[in-house]
Amino acid sequence: MTENRPRLEGTKIAILVTNGFEQSEMTEPRRALDEAGATTHLVSPAGDEVKGWQDADWGDAFPVDVALDDASTNDYHALVLPGGVINPDQLRAEPKAVRLVRDFVIAGKPVAAICHGPWLLVEAGVVDGRRMTSYHSIRTDLINAGADWVNEEVVVDGRFVTSRSPNDLPAFNEAMIRQFAAARELVVA
């Protein structure tokens, strides 16, 4: 499946995280994007490094590439929002993170969110009328915010790509890369 994957050279992708992201939901999409030729940056309000969450405990530490305060939508073609429970719950309480997510959507740039990652899209007020999926426990949050929630491994609606859980990562990665390649015409300042 990956042999026909579009190439993403010259494409810059922001991955917005804080401590407690589901580790596989950051590392696997990041690896897929890097293998497709994209440049990926971990963007975070957490300082110099962030820790993942893996198998019911803290996972590995990863260096932060760009502080949230220094991140600009103009510097990137697309945004990835990994899940986990802790990560998006903390980020949705961070006004600068919510503003960054909203700015990506307003700019018409693609956003890929998995598991609990769509919580940030709810907080940004950008899910009304969108067909989406997520981890089942935030289904009601998406519906209450106006989304058409469906139980599918990956959903593409406009420039949004959403998936339910780490089990969906292969489908999520393929859809995300295809969506990001289709939107490559967006100019980065």
Give the catalytic positions in this structure.
Answer: 115-116
Cα-Cα end-to-end distance for the chain: 33
- The rounded Cα 72 to chain-centroid distance in angstroms is 15
Per-residue CA distances from 47 to 17, 41, 56, 70 (Å): 11, 14, 23, 12
